[in-house]
């Protein structure tokens, strides 16, 4: 899994079909979509995920009414077991993407997590030696907890593609 797509509950199949169609328009041929065990979530494995996100953003700006079911799409840098040590190790490795002068914040979307958000935030803060900015961070350490496994990403705020926000900006 290198992308996570969210949709309204019950519309995962339509959002998946919509995403696959846009992926084909972008020239991406290898894309695998799997509905998650959690409502409104689709796990995606695609070639060139960042390029695909850029294409999707441009597509929404040019054809805002053709994207009806996809809500958000976010890159996933690593998938690890939902164990504090594994998550900390992944964050430490990925935190190299946060520059010396850059700030960060931790965002957690937990579905069936064995840990409280505060436990996860404390574990991440211990391994990332950068300034925290909750209001306007340069990077976001994004944890998507799905029960037994967790998607870990270090992203710029604009890397999280929100279709409703893009539509409002058009």
**Distance separating alpha carbons of residues 6 and 8, to the nearest angstrom:** 7
- C-alpha radius of gyration, the chain, whole number: 16
User: Phi, psi at residue 29, to the nearest 5°?
Assistant: -105, -30
pLDDT at 166 over 90: yes
**Distance separating alpha carbons of residues 141 and 136, to the nearest angstrom:** 13
DSSP secondary structure code for residue 62 in this structure: H
For domain 78-155, the CATH architecture is 2-Layer Sandwich (3.30)
> 3-75 and 78-155: same fold?
yes
**Distance separating alpha carbons of residues 57 and 134, to the nearest angstrom:** 25
pLDDT at 169 over 90: no
* Per-residue pLDDT tens digits for 113-134: 999 999 999 999 999 999 999 9
> If pLDDT is split at 50, 70 and 90, which confidence band does 149 have?
very high
* Per-residue pLDDT tens digits for 49-88: 999 999 999 999 999 999 999 999 999 999 999 999 999 9
Q: Is 101 strand, coil or helix?
A: coil
- Nearest C-alpha neighbor of 145 from the set 111, 105, 121: 111
Mean pLDDT, rounded, for 144-169? 95
In the chain, where the domains are located: 3-75, 78-155
How buried is 149 (Cβ within 10 angstroms: 0-12 exposed, 13-18 middle, 19+ buried)?
middle
**What's the whole-number average pLDDT of the chain?**
95
pLDDT at 29: 87
Query: 3-75 has which CATH code?
Result: 3.30.2130.30
């Amino acid at each position: 899994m290198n992308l996570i797509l969210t949709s309204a509950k019950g519309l995962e199949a339509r959002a998946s079909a919509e995403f696959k169609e846009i992926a084909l328009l972008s020239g991406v041929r290898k894309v695998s979509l799997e509905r998650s065990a959690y409502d409104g979530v689709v796990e995606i494995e695609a070639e060139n995920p960042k390029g695909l996100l850029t294409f999707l953003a441009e597509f929404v700006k040019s054809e805002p009414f053709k994207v009806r079911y996809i809500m958000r799409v976010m890159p996933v840098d690593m998938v690890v077991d939902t164990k504090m040590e594994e998550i900390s190790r992944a964050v430490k490795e990925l935190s190299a993407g946060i520059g010396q002068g850059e700030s960060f914040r931790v965002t957690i979307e937990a579905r069936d997590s064995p840990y409280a958000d505060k436990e996860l935030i404390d574990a991440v803060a211990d391994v990332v030696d950068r300034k925290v900015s909750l209001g306007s961070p340069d990077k976001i350490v994004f944890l998507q907890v799905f029960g037994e496994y967790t998607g870990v990403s270090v992203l710029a705020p604009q890397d999280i593609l929100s279709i409703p926000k893009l539509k409002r900006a058009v």
